[in-house]
Amino acid sequence: MSWKLCFPRLQWLRRFHLTHGRKLTPRVAKRSFGDKCIPNQEIGNERKNRLPELAASVVSASGESAKQTHSNLTPLTTCKNNQNLNRNEYKSRVLRLLHQTQSDMNAEYLKPISLPASHLSCSFAIDPEGTVVFATFSGFYGNGSAGNGDGLYMFSMLAAHYLIFESICVVLDLRGLEYHWGNTILKTINFFHELGRDSDEKAKRVIIVTSEKNREALESLEKSVTGGNRTYCESFDDALVMARKEIQAYLA
């Protein structure tokens, strides 16, 4: 079978070149690379030799954008020979970079927080057996919503100390606290009912020592409280006696 029948397109292409005075140039084992004509077997070597030149041109063309992209990043290595950087140094530099990135992100997206603002003062103590936490709060408790920060401050401070020792009961010494009205203090008065993680913890008792500064207001507030175990005392000695009874009942 003639090649003209198998490859009609080649036949047309050959006729086109002959008509226009051109010859169909046979394929040779050479290819143009840049402005040179290089044999096929030398093309690979020529490309390897020109790689540094091409890389330099790419870097020069995109140098400004690269500087802008990486301006906020700290390089991991500063030595000329990266092989001189041992594994521990590399790890420490990676951790520093991550810490820097995290710090930048925190500064941009996160806001610092602190305990609720309060003018109250507090102190804490625990008995030698570690069974009773004594919390003392004094100062002026804000009226109504103005006392929300005071109530949250009392609750958060009491929770922090209680969770460390896991005491059997809590004694609140509020003799120096001037309180008139406000509901947020209920989180502290009804502490175990608010914070208790199981039925046994919710059943623990809060013993409250009151004074003329807050006794009447706390008694009126007691009418709106449901759940939890609380006992009000007028003296600190009475609170100690009640605490011993709670310990004996808990250990029985």
In 3D, which of 48, 24, 47, 15 has the Cα closest to residue 34? 47
Domain ranges of the chain: 121-251
121-251 — its CATH code? 3.30.750.24
Alpha carbon distance, N-terminus to C-terminus of the chain: 112
Q: In whole angstroms, what is the distance from residue 109 CA to residue 5 CA?
A: 74
| Residue 111, both tokens | 């806001």
Is residue 178 pLDDT above 90, yes or no?
yes
Is residue 91 pLDDT above 50, yes or no?
yes
pLDDT per position as a tens digit, 32-46:
444 455 455 555 556
Mean pLDDT of the chain: 75
Instruction: Return the number of other C-beta atoms located less than 10 Å from residue 95's C-beta.
Output: 10
Cα-Cα-Cα-Cα dihedral sign, residues 169, 174, 180, 182? negative
Q: Which helix (H) or strand (E) holds 207?
A: strand 205-209
pLDDT per position as a tens digit, 143-153:
998 999 999 99
Look at 61-65, 131-135, 186-190 and tell me which has the smallest mean pLDDT: 61-65
pLDDT in the model for residue 89: 75
Q: What is the DSSP letter of 7?
A: -
| Residue 197, both tokens | 């993680």
One-letter amino acid of 239: A
